[in-house]
A and B are shown apart, each in its own frame.
Chain A
Amino acid sequence: MTDYPALHPVGDWIRDALPPPYAAVANGALAVASMVALVTVTAIFLIWLERKVCARFQARLGPTRVGPFGLLQPIADAIKLLMKENIRPRKVDKLAYHLAPLLPITGSFLVLAVIPFSHNLQVADLSAGVVYVVAVSGLGILGVLIGGWGSNNKYSLLGAMRSGAQLFSYELSLVLCMLLVVMAAGTASLREIVLSQQGTVLDWWIFKMPLAGLVAFAVFMISSTAELNRGPLDLSEAESELTGGFHTEYTGITFSMFFLAEFVNMFASAALGATFFLGGFLAPQFGIGPVDGVLAAIPGVVWFFAKAYLIIFLYMWFRWTFPRLRIDHLLSLEWKFLLPVSLANLLLGATLVTFGLLIP
């Protein structure tokens, strides 16, 4: 077993250089600053990636003009959005209307705070990390509901209510998938969950529990797609039916907050998937000496982002392949299919764990 120290050299250096109270503040500020940088860069990069990947799925080229490979396109988009006049419809509920765009981005920020990007890159390692993740990711739902209600527009309200129904429903399967891993790993701390997957690739929870892990991963992918409001489960937007859904009445910077949150949420969700099922920051090991040595030499943070982006590619692949579901189909998919499947899967997983039938 490799030793994975929890403290980062930079943090140690600051602790050495400053007296304890100042060091704590400085380290906290550093953590917040790096989270802000991560969120900004991730959002901008993902917007570019989404446009590029979607274009290639449709046999197009995507943005190519602004910067090399169109890399500066999202910056141009951001400038356009920020320069736009911020129109507030006359009869909106002012507090709700202005509060709503802030909640989803706050939620994804808070989720990212407990993600172990590497063994020593984690803002906070909560012992009940999974519970915390489930709780704060609910802020996104709240933002959607409040935004739809505060807009004072029937389409926004319909979109928000649909979205609320969808998000509340799919949260169940999502939590049951996480619960399976928590049960198998015997801990709810995300760092500990990653460390419980040490060994070869077969020790990752997606493979370690025969069948149960794969089913849980599939259900996780479906329900997190629904949680992210992405196609084919993007019922809250459904631009062909609802003229944009809950963010119909938002313009300029308030709209861009929703837009940004969508992409940061996608990253947070992919990060969770990588943490729970794909061994997080651990390098994949195949039990072949030299190959393993090379793979293990690559830093954990690289592996983490590689795995997260693999899942993000899957999300994009889903979105640009499948047609959107109807609202009643969507809800019956969850309540009549995914929920029973995850419950049965949880039972199967419990049996496997109890009788020690995991892949050694």
Chain B
Amino acid sequence: MLSAVASLTTMGIALGGLLGVASRYLAVEGNPIEGEIKDLLPGSQCGQCGYVGCAQAATALAKGEAPVTLCPPGGRALAQQLAAKLGVKVDLSAISDDGPKLAQVAEEICIGCCKCIKVCPTDAIIGAAKQIHNVIREACTGCGACVDRCPTEAMTMVSVPVTLQHWIWPKPALNTAVAAHA
């Protein structure tokens, strides 16, 4: 009986010591998940999440300090992806998902002040002083920074209309009466 106690104790100490040594010398530096999260974010550094840039938001997300619903331009799809990557449960009903929105200039109201051009993170607005401004749709990320800057409220966010090319079949509704899983 004594020999059993002794042998188990010795094994415990030895293996525990091995684990401790491994945790010191084989530790993984940094958090690789941060890079993956950063790739998911839009990258326009718009600041709507409250962090200075997407990299800082990624760090906060990796640490678990920020909610996965922090990115308005990413919308519901991004929140779902972040939740999946971080393995957290998230209630997505609060995020209104009318789809992606792009900025649009109401040309009759625009006074050509260039204030919006200065804040656009992707230089998606073309125009010059006293000239009508316009938004290049392919470059707009929908961050909304220009809407706040416009002094005449000529800038609005409009939903991208669904066209034949971009329409997607909806997922079949589950017959919860008989089928089980989602």
Do A and B interact?
A: no
Binding site for A on B (CB under 8 A): none
Binding site for B on A (CB under 8 A): none
